Structure 1
């Protein structure tokens, strides 16, 4: 008698597919955020985790619930569109084993965080590290999110607890905390200091050791999300009494509102007033600039700035320039007999970080400074923003590090800020290179003023002043030194001596500083083909000899930064899992 046929092998236990409808991800599965591998190395190690789930489903049952695969879930690494190339990776300079080949097949998907699937230790949060637990690390908790299951966790600079992701009990904001104070956890290429950090952006790049991931919130109805996160804090964290009213569906009477915008946190302080981050029920997030009006002239000045913003709003369409969204109670302000004490304008995008602050982090921790190709992208985006302004008929007239907002460092995205004093030259009909009269002691910032900006009275300046200022900024980005040390000499050396009313310097003092600067710039210009050479061309004293924005963008290193920026924008528009990306990959 023939032996009975053996049963067929069980089908591989694959994780679920990510729902096509992101709202379904939240409403059905409670998924509020995803962590998607961004670099090739991260993709390869993510794929190894999926392989382990398929091979040992019982051992990795808990991990399986925290992974979702894309519809096209097995692709060559070279065909993926969720990661930047090695030259853009936050960890691209590292030497680690098992660097994946472009043709290597890899599982495509993401780790997911769900209110319906709390971590093993809710008070600690979702532990992110390596897995499974190795014998030499007995007694330590297994990670809820294992970034690799291979033996190379030390070369990948991963800890058993590299980071912890949790929900703050008071504010209901998602937080991330490093497990060790050694720089193995980075956000946008910058080390996360030891302590709790708030994940307050819709998406950003987070690096765990040598692995780069894109963290992204899943869009969801705000009221539904408020109810879900409140239930999670009450049930999983057992903190019903500590839930702040701001996450309840009914706003708290203690919240501070301007119009229908709820103020969230201070975002900065300018010479005219405060900048505050704000949001409303639709989910919009803006920066609200509060102009303080003590006298009638302050109100007139604020209205003039609003008119400027309105012109910019109509004519400048740029990803690299902050723009006006709304002016609160504008009609009431314009018709008021007495000046209002405050004039509020809403701007997007909200920027909480600028280049000046970034410089300080580089100085305190030099290892945080990104690789040169990333810096080329930063300069390229500054120049693209300036070009968009000039094309629309505006001169910014105050380009400096604190007016370069940093939305993220990796991949870089910068925006030009503080446009309320931009100069509109479109109506003049003169050449852009010489269209506005010099003004002295009013406008711009010492240390970033082009020679012609405060030159002889009744002479003209033009778009070249922004190129000079950008050259000063580029010098600080790449050389980490200013063109002019303001602690040593806090006067514009190119200003017309006759225009000083008080504390007039001697002509010898001005000439000495000019000679020092010009000698340094001359040395930069003598090394062709380098970024230093471009900076030298941007800092030419004679505006007629100064490189134009268009020519600067064609410099090989800057052009490479422009191309990298365009490729990143293309990837962002076609993330895996969206409809267009799936259609493009369908045979």
Structure 2
């Protein structure tokens, strides 16, 4: 494994410098003879601060974080704490002697790599001392109590532990070498590292960069899209480290404010882990108020949601096995059933508003509730993209059956897009859509073509409800595939037109049979796994685990909630 150093921890104030110097001189006098030592004299480090006025430059020593020195904490975390005869074997970054009165308890904090996003996170594991992450929120400090975590999102991070100040500098000369070493390290601790979002989609920067900006609870990494409406970004939740997406909307007109208010109102009713619907994690305005205050005519409103790498519009469907495709269809149909059961019409369903969070396991959901409406009937005509609107929109009152039509058309578009020739309120245009469907029947699983035809019926009374569509026999082809099913997977890939290159089509599809629970992700997608041959958990780790279990029994912990398709428990009661 590469010995690449990726961070240094340097005492900044006099008290911290004396603690480390005393520890090194007494317990590690021959550290310079050990090439694997985590201790380095500051003078020997090229990247050390040169200005004599910089407090950290006065330190004799600094501590190195590298992948060569295996962490002894949970899932390979590096433990910072007090070193002594009984603790030297588990303290990876010793900052003072076990006899020091500056700190209580042997372990102070941990630095670890998030198993899904790959970002570095600081965790407080000490019940006596809080950790102050200085200027972590612009000019404001962030205090971490026992068990609290925070993403290390700056190149230079200033930390205060009790009366001791430190500078954690995160920097590498070769980012590719860092990625190789990080991946090697994480494979030892996380069985699912290769399937993590950051490994599959490469959506985040591996290390902090000056361009990363904190917006509310999010550390932004990249801009996905932008336009007159606003900006969509991807980043991480500053506390959990989970990958999240943020939609920033420019409210230039009163109509924009109404739309955003409506989206927040509807999306806030979606509980986490609701099958087929994208929840809203939180929302805030440019003044930092949550919910947004809308105090100025021109206002940016931020909506934080789980990150989805694809939509039905951007997915490479020719690479997706038919069983996986059916499972994704089934999930968004369940989402529509849940929405309709709560008395809500979506009115803006199209491929771009159907998100794909994962292929294995298949996870998809409906998003964007800006044009949704409480009720089962409507007359507004300025809705979704004209190419996906039901024929009756614009002819007077319509029902929530327009969502069934739009969803069926969005599913059809995944097989092959058609050239739009005009509003589907025109009978000839509608007939051409049905002819297009008929031409693709041979590419579809048995029964799906007939189901889509019923969903695309000209007369809304002839369309099935979401419940009726979910009961269709076409979903019986969502099969369970276990070990040794490569032959079946290859057959499905071939029938769906997929190639032999790497991608979703090369993976096994493990789905649920029709009539059972929804084919969906487990609630433990971000579960952290300990190696079977790893060191046993320390006392502070055990205490921290017990605290988390206690917290997870509350309603606020979304990792412990099971996914459900019972619409009665999915949404808050509609307003009176």
Class of the TM-score when normalised by the shorter of the 2 chains: 0.3 to 0.5
TM-score with structure 1 setting the length: 0.47
Instruction: Compute the TM-score of the two structures, normalised by the length of structure 2.
Output: 0.48
